[in-house]
Structure 1
Amino acid sequence: MPRSPLALAALATVAIPGLDAFDVRRPRDSGGEVDTAVVIDATRQRWVVRAPIGPAAGAALEAEVGLLELLVEQVDADRLPFAVPRIAGFAHLPEGGRAVVHAELPGRPLRLETLQPGPGLAASLGRALAALHELPTSVVENAGLPAYDAEAYRQRRMAEVDEAARTGKVPVRLLRRWEAALENVAVWRFQPTVVHGDLTVENVLVAEGDVSAILGWGETKVADPADDLAWLMVAAPHDAAESVMEAYQLRRTELLDPHLSERAYLAGELALARWLLYGVRSNDAEIVADAVQMLEDLDASTAPEDLLEDDGLDLVPASAPAQEDGGDVARFSFRDTF
């Protein structure tokens, strides 16, 4: 049973001695494997308290805490142009594990549908992602989080497509496109980087026209940087996504990855397959039906001539489906469900 907001507020007062809780609220995106609340103290300071549900969630939260400690060092050294949560205290839970508390970070969730091209927010987003991908991979490895080389990650994606194919619910043409892309080894010669792994509009905060903070670091790994660009390629207005990529390319040093955009589009398409697999594994007919509809829409929007070319696979849809409030992809995260 989820903990009540009052119970979470009590945990916050234990974690932060002297905290005088005045009000407590559930965040808009609460749910999942971690109970979350925003506690407002007597001085109007807002605190986020997170308590895991079960041992697996507790272990994942502890790993995230370890990573955040290392990321804070990168922020303080001016290697990241945005804030990350700074853990302010812990409260031990009766069933084991710990709740964590940090100050709420400034900003509002990014609204992709309003993202404009040019040197403003789109460029800020591109620079933020580039700075993240420029971090030493040791930041993730020292936190005990997963690290993949390019070939291992390609094999991982191939296994994902194979599992989706076995459901019998993915259009044949999409499967052929995906298999062709994954079998083209040249497309997968990339340098692994630190990857956030769960970039969504709720996890990217914006203030005064810039990216102010990034949240939700529980899926971070060393993997394909294209994964962090997929949600933008799929859901952002095309001209704004181009501005993001331009700023990203300018900020990256020694970036020699001619197939980055191709893999980003592929990652966006494979997110639909993961949504399908999530519905199948959880036996949720509504999610399965939703995923099947989106896969069929994607298949319909893909021109027949989008076939494997000599230099790679053209994965840009001929006419992307209409999107509102961030698009259909905003219904779920790009997180790795394996």
Structure 2
Amino acid sequence: MIYLDHAATTPVHPRVAEAMHPYLTNVYGNPSSLHGFGREARMGLERARDRIAHILGAEPQTIVFTSGGTEADNMAIIGGAMAQQDRGRHVITSSVEHHAVLHACAHLEQLGFEVTYLPVDETGMVSLEELKQAVRPDTVLVSIMYGNNEVGTIQPIEEIGRFLRERNIVFHTDAVQAFGVMPLNVSELPVDMLSVSAHKINGPKGVGALYLGRKVPIQPHLHGGKQERNRRGGTENLAGIVGFAEAAEIAAREMEERVAKYRQMREAMLAVWREAGIAYHVNGHPERHLPHILNVSFPGVHTETMLMNLDLAGIAAASGSACTSGSLELSHVLQAMCLDDTVMRSAVRFSFGITNTVEEVEQAAQTTADIVKRVAR
């Protein structure tokens, strides 16, 4: 079996599982309890917060733990917009965002907000000029993802952030796919909110975090307790948070090595296809892309046909976001990029991770080429 769907989720690192174990067995107190068991749990929670804050270049009190990237996005967008509705009710995002952002924006529209969905070019890139034109006096929030989860295109976050900061508009970025493979330092990056998730970096599922700048207004969406400095009610997932911190530190230490490895894998895969002489089209920006995501179309081979044949050969890949798996609809990202219909209907996403080797990636590429030669019309 060859797993090439790390953009969907990743296997838990052995050292992460080891770090979590005490918090699944012996350290079982509630972090909000005042007795010794609770204080021990609280120490573990705050150590993890310090570790993740350090990696992001943030202050510990600006880190809010959530149940994952989806909740972090919802908290930022819905909570951020609702907290500022007296200033205005206009929000801007892009047409290629993860559904955690798009559906949160759709919810705001039901609440009476106006949302502008920026178009992208054929590489999946947002235009800074079009964003500038979309800003209005009543714009209170902009959310643009750091790197796309389907095609890997990296957006001009720094340029967008600088422009919005001059106009005092709150800026959120979904950095779930970028975290662990791109250096993210919020003390230098002009963003007000940033979402990350554990299970994309070999941590456990069900835990994420939102960086929330000190002066950023937010309306809590979960009520029932004073946890996370009154910003998210509910007992924290302590074992998951400890595992998240461990995974984040490992990823930060190994980032340079991992990125070099993923780039080598990408080039190895493309080299096999060039050598095989098959027709293929790489989707996304040719230079500004996440190193671990390769979205490619094989005209003449339907996406579902390719994925089924790969699965039969023991190779796991994807058609796009795991949140839309099983859907027969075309990818909203590829549609927004206005790609040719034959390209959109034959797109497959391969995504690399720490368990992969160059040899097995080459094997998967050769199997893919064999499938194309056998079934392409």
TM-score, reference length from structure 2: 0.28
**With CA pairs under 8 Å and 6+ residues apart, which has the higher RCO, 1 or 2?**
2
